[in-house]
Amino acid sequence: MFKVIVVDDEAMIRSGISSFVEKSELGFEVVKTFPDGAEAISYLENHDIDLVITDIRMVNVSGIELAHYVYKNKPRTKVILLSGYAEFEYARAAIKYNVSEYITKPTNFTDLRASLMRIREQLAVHKRTDINAFLDNIKQLYADILSGSMDDASATFKLLLDSNNHGNEYLGQYACNLFEIINDHLAANMNIKVRSDKLDYKKLPELSTYDEIYDFSLALLGNIVNQIALKDEKPSDIVAAKLIQFINEHFSENISLQDASERVFFNPAYCSRFFKKQTGENFSDYLLRVRMEHAVKLLKENKKITDISRECGYSSSGYFSRIFKDYYGCTPSDYIRNL
């Protein structure tokens, strides 16, 4: 659900708009309403909101001033301005402060619904982008930890902490969730269970300030890196072995670098560099070699080309034959004749 606040100095209008938004079934939830812009700004200082629906003319702080605050401090937040005046100065201000929609009063709910639908699409795009960026960063943090680089791990963790969009009041819980994810993957992929009596990441939600949370998190990261360093087997060797095992067990399927990277909780770009460094081969070259060597083995067993192509991960026997010829310099049929 996307979070909405409604700001208008008329209680009936606030109530009417809130009710309409809630009943629209467009994925919006009105979390607060305010009679003026000053109270709304005070709330926004400590909360992240997806959409502000505000009247323009209000006592103390106007809707234009509120839109200006959002523009300067909450660039991801969308704004719908409501006005009883279709005046050029308001339209110009709306453009200046990147207001998403401008609706004249009395509110036409058909127009409001159309505005909500357009904004929902924009917010959905931003949300997908945020999720992808988060996944890339948390995977990078995991890779930094395995590499044993505290400098890289602390820098990536700070990037994740600063990208938190759940409000400062939830920062400790957010940091706790990050360590939960890291620990789960360390246990599943590396058989590493991080333990410490003094440094328990579940204490993070009890901390209140950014500095406290960041400093405690750095201590946790250091503890994890130190425990990994004490392992007999290098993390890089474990991960490389898992990637090779994945290829050897699944080369007959339509697998990709993306599939392999997900198995070890790396992002694809990092996984590609890592694999080349560890094996001396590109992922695609290694996969091709395994498939071609298996194809030769099956040819020697007098299997049909259609069956061989399928067992080597190719749905088209014609395409398989072209790949085989590029690799060995002859077609599968010629290879059999030359045995």
Q: What is the DSSP string of 10-58?
A: -HHHHHHHHHHHHHT-SSEEEEEEESSHHHHHHHHTT---SEEEEES--
Q: What is the DSSP letter of 197?
A: S
Containing 154, the helix (H) or strand (E) segment is: helix 150-162
- Cα→Cα distances 244→32, 50, 97, 285, Å: 53, 44, 53, 12
CATH number of this structure's domain 2-107? 3.40.50.2300
Contact present, 173 and 217 (Cβ < 8 Å): no
Q: For the chain, what is the radius of gyration of the CA atoms?
A: 28
Placement of tokens 């957010």 in the chain: 174
Contact present, 83 and 37 (Cβ < 8 Å): no
Contact present, 313 and 324 (Cβ < 8 Å): no
Cα–Cα distance for residue pair 48/44, rounded to 1 Å: 6
The pLDDT tens digits along the chain (339 residues) read 899 999 998 899 899 999 999 988 899 999 999 998 999 999 999 888 999 999 888 878 888 889 889 988 988 899 998 877 655 566 666 666 778 777 777 777 888 899 899 999 999 988 888 888 899 999 999 999 999 999 999 999 999 998 876 666 788 999 999 999 999 999 888 887 776 665 688 889 999 888 999 999 999 999 899 888 888 889 999 999 999 999 999 999 999 999 999 999 999 999 999 999 999 999 999 999 999 999 999 999 989 999 999 999 999 999 999 999 999 999 999 988 887
Q: Are strands 101-104 and 51-55 parallel, antiparallel or unpaired?
A: unpaired
CATH number of this structure's domain 236-337? 1.10.10.60
Placement of tokens 């305010």 in the chain: 34
40: number of Cβ within 10 Å? 25
pTM for the full predicted model: 0.74
**Residues 236, 240, 241, 244, Cα dihedral to 10°:** 180
Cα–Cα distance for residue pair 178/181, rounded to 1 Å: 5
What angle (nearest 5°) sits at the alpha carbon of residue 111, between those of residues 110 and 115?
120
Q: Bridge-partner residues for 103, per DSSP? A: 82
Look up residue 57 and give its amino acid: R
